[in-house]
Structure 1
Amino acid sequence: MRPLQAKIIAELHVQPTIDPQAEIRRSIDFLKQYLTHSSYTGLAMAVSGGQDSTLAGKLGQMAITELRDETGSNDYQFVAIRQPYGRQQDEGDAQDALTFIAPDQSVTTNIQEATDAMVTSLRTAGLVVDDMSRGSIKPKMRMIAQYAVAREHNAVVIGTDHGAEAVAGFFTKYGDGGTDINPLWRLNKRQGRALLEALNAPTHLYEKTPTADLEDDRPQLPDEVALGVSYKTIDDYLEGREVNTTDAEKIEEMYLNTQQKRHEPITVYDTWFY
């Protein structure tokens, strides 16, 4: 194993093999314990129709259902949030995900108007705001809406970050990376898929091509095209398997270049980047 590979695996806690049922139980208990040791009574999260939000959403609803059954309190609620920009191309998948999750409550906060207003404001100030910048603004607008919904429901915001995205920094800081609790952290992409299979999720929701769908000029751009390396290769790397040198160096370069995204704001006491 490459020296940096071992360090990354240790940092992200990805295991070479998992028991899907055990990890489902671990995630549910984790969410329940957080709520029972806090003043919050709800979980809120954005559901896009992709693998990660389908899994995190199902785990969140299962945790809330168990808490209601165990405590007899209907204060515990799970809120699913739909957040399209205008009309989402794979809206059917999002609706299928909601059917599978069966959330206690569902709300839609369409981000198009807010995003377009922010772009207009920035351009009025003299900024260019290209397509990549717009793609960064969208998840930040989603984050703002998620926290507004969470506040009204005394809820914490669930994130969908997992090992394969974390190692590449493939998330928007203070966007989809702006959350309170991440039940999938420690899993890679194929392990998350295994949990959905164990939960009998609709296969098309985890067999579909993953895409963040943030760029207007390149709609539905596959994650693996944006990353320049496949999730299979990233998963192999995180499980301690040997991958070809070119791909290993690409993964390590992404990891090193995105250190700040996985870190709280830097203070004078942080020395990891020296």
Structure 2
Amino acid sequence: MSIQEEIIAALGVKPAIDAEAEVRQRADFLKAYILESGIKGLLIAISGGVESAVAAGLCKRATDELSAEQGKEYITLGVFQPYGEQEDFGHSYEAAKASGLKHTVETNIGDAVDEIALETEYALKAIGQHRHMTHQGKGDIKAGTRMVFQHALALENNLLVVGTGHASEAITGSCTTWEGGAADIEPLRSLNHRQVRELASYLGVPAEIITEAKAADQRAGQTDAAKRGITYEDSSDYLEGKPVEPAAAELLESFYRKGAYKRSAIPGI
């Protein structure tokens, strides 16, 4: 078995999908987990990206169907989490509207992130490092703060936090440790980015959200592709078993090895 085949098997990606069947399977997966857990519904943070838009659509379908089948209300709570004033945050509200979410709330992370960053800089100064935090460091604080708010809201409302991680992120390690990976359930895990877009089209996600370049929340204007030096088309091709340029394959395999700790449970002894 080649390294490519081993990675595909580990991440569970199919070479091709039927969007309707995948939506059905993943909505049923969410419904079964809700019933097994005895909770009242799901919480999904809506960033404006295609992944959270698809997850929101799956969650809404699952909780609507359960409400009808069980004769009591199950909800999907959509959470908007801008950092201060974000001009690009309009897609979050468009995604929620397209999914038909009735329950939404905004938790602006700006003040909390700035306070944590300031306290971190005080700590750096105390150990002799007189400097500001790096862009990456503050970006990780943003990611972690969003997840703290999500779990607090979920706990208070007896909901499960839904993650948006997928195979194209898993292979490159392009997520903050215990941010998206700290979710309770991940309905997109075995899909690559191209397949996520296929589900988005089927679910009626607005076209501008589907085609927008995914951007990192660490430096303004920086896309994930520019940051990693690999495109989602390359990673999707690779995960579907298609041939890619040797340099791209080598880079993806290197990312996969380096990001192993992000895909694993906390190690212990």
- 2:260 alignment partner in structure 1: 259
1:114 to 96, 112, 115: 112
Assess if the C-alpha contact under 8 Å between 2:39 and 2:159 holds in 1. yes
Return the offset for 1:198: 1.2
Q: Counterpart of 2:266 in 1: which secondary structure?
A: coil
- 2:128 alignment partner in structure 1: none
Return the offset for 1:177: 2.1
Alpha-carbon distance in structure 1 between the residues aligned to 2:92 and 2:204: 17
Q: Which amino acid aligns with 2:152?
A: A
Q: Counterpart of 2:205 in 1: which secondary structure?
A: coil
1:101-250 matches, cutoff 5 A: 101-126=99-124, 128=131, 129-212=133-216, 214-215=217-218, 218-250=219-251
Q: Structure 2: give runs of 5+ residues left out of the alignment.
A: 126-130
Return the offset for 1:114: 0.6
Return the offset for 1:220: 3.0
Q: Which moved more, 1:168-177 or 1:15-24?
A: 168-177
Q: Structure 1: give runs of 5+ residues left out of the alignment.
A: 269-274
Return the offset for 1:200: 2.1
Q: Which amino acid aligns with 2:20?
A: Q
Alpha-carbon distance in structure 2 between the residues aligned to 1:141 and 1:220: 21
Return the offset for 1:121: 0.7
Q: Which runs of 4+ in 1 moved over 3 A?
A: none
Alpha-carbon distance in structure 1 between the residues aligned to 2:182 and 2:87: 24
How high is the TM-score relative to the length of structure 2?
Answer: 0.95
Alpha-carbon distance in structure 2 between the residues aligned to 1:182 and 1:91: 23
Q: Which amino acid aligns with 2:68?
A: D
How high is the TM-score relative to the length of structure 1?
Answer: 0.93
Task: Tell me which protein shows more helix as a share of its residues.
Answer: 2
CA RMSD of aligned residues (A): 1.1
1:28-43 matches, cutoff 5 A: 28-43=27-42
Describe the superposition over 1:174-206 as per-residue Cα deviations: whole angstroms up to 9, x where unpaired: 112210000001000110111111122211110
Alpha-carbon distance in structure 2 between the residues aligned to 1:165 and 1:109: 25
Return the offset for 1:68: 0.2
Number of aligned residue pairs: give it: 263
2:98 to 100, 103, 118: 100
Return the offset for 1:104: 2.9
- 1:272 alignment partner in structure 2: none
Q: Which amino acid aligns with 1:240?
A: G
Return the offset for 1:232: 0.3
